[in-house]
Amino acid sequence: DAKTTQPPSMDCAEGRAANLPCNHSTISGNEYVYWYRQIHSQGPQYIIHGLKNNETNEMASLIITEDRKSSTLILPHATLRDTAVYYCIVRPYNAGNMLTFGGGTRLMVKP
Amino acid sequence: DTGVSQDPRHKITKRGQNVTFRCDPISEHNRLYWYRQTLGQGPEFLTYFQNEAQLEKSRLLSDRFSAERPKGSFSTLEIQRTEQGDSAMYLCASSLGEGDREQYFGPGTRLTVT
């Protein structure tokens, strides 16, 4: 799996958009970008994934650059409950096997 | 959908003892994964099953570790002769087979070896 680079920590004001960047400059053509998050003392939770088009679901939006070397996860209106570690992962779709987690970004949403 | 469950949630054991953890995946999920997470790090893959077949094992899974999924439903992870370095959170996840997009994680079992 390609490696990813994320800032170790970020702060965001409650109610504002949280923009979490991820660099994946060695991504292959068949690899998707996945985002998971892990709230303290819980298991990781899937957020969203995409290949090259921007994606949106009820939790977040994923913006992937045209060259696919980087992406941004957007939480449009961050709440205190969004405080968590966010992991950006690249892997082939249907790989069916392991997820390779990096260090992630610790997002702190502040009132 | 009751989610992935793990038992126990916490385990304290003395060095040299054997421990066994159980994971119950979401019903009809045929893939089951085990991960280990140490403090401040992301989860690390250990092994995964497709139904009852163990298809992949990480080099992290030493000879002291064994995992089973005898009937393709629940799974157990056993650690023999525990060492202090085994102290970690052990996470289980499950997913549907081909075409799955996400793994559903359980709450984990926190192991402390004293």
Whether residues B98 and A42 touch (CB distance < 8 A) is answered with no
pLDDT value for B1: 54
Separation CA A61–CA A109 (nearest Å): 18
Question: A37 to chain B: which residues are within 8 Å by CB?
Answer: none
pLDDT value for A11: 97
pLDDT in tens, B45-59: 999 999 999 998 998
pLDDT in tens, A87-103: 999 987 766 678 889 99
pLDDT in tens, A5-32: 999 999 999 999 999 999 999 998 888 9
Between residues 67 and 106 of chain B, which touch chain A (CB distance below 8 Å)? 91, 93, 95, 97-106
On whether any CB of chain B is under 8 Å from the CB of A58, the answer is no
Cα distances (Å, whole numbers) of residue A56 to A48, A60, B25: 8, 6, 28
- In this complex, the residue of A45, A85, A103 whose CB is nearest that of residue B105 is A45
Separation CA A45–CA A35 (nearest Å): 9
- Average pLDDT taken over every residue of chain A: 93
CB-CB neighbours of B51 under 10 Å: 13
pLDDT value for B71: 87
Cα distances (Å, whole numbers) of residue B37 to A4, A23, B33, B45: 18, 23, 13, 9
B98–chain A nearest CA distance, Å = 6
On whether any CB of chain A is under 8 Å from the CB of B62, the answer is no
> How is A58-85 classified by DSSP, letter by letter?
SS-EEEE-TTSSEEEEEETT--GGG-EE
CB-CB contact of B15 with B84 (8 Å): yes
Q: Report which DSSP code applies to A95.
A: -
Q: In the numeric block, which tokens belong to residue A40?
A: 């303290």
B104–chain A nearest CA distance, Å = 7
Q: In the numeric block, which tokens belong to residue B112?
A: 């402390």
Reference B97, options A51, A100, A97; nearest CA is A97
Q: Report which DSSP code applies to B76.
A: E
A15–chain B nearest CA distance, Å = 27
pLDDT in tens, A38-89: 999 899 999 999 999 899 999 999 999 999 999 999 999 999 999 999 999 9
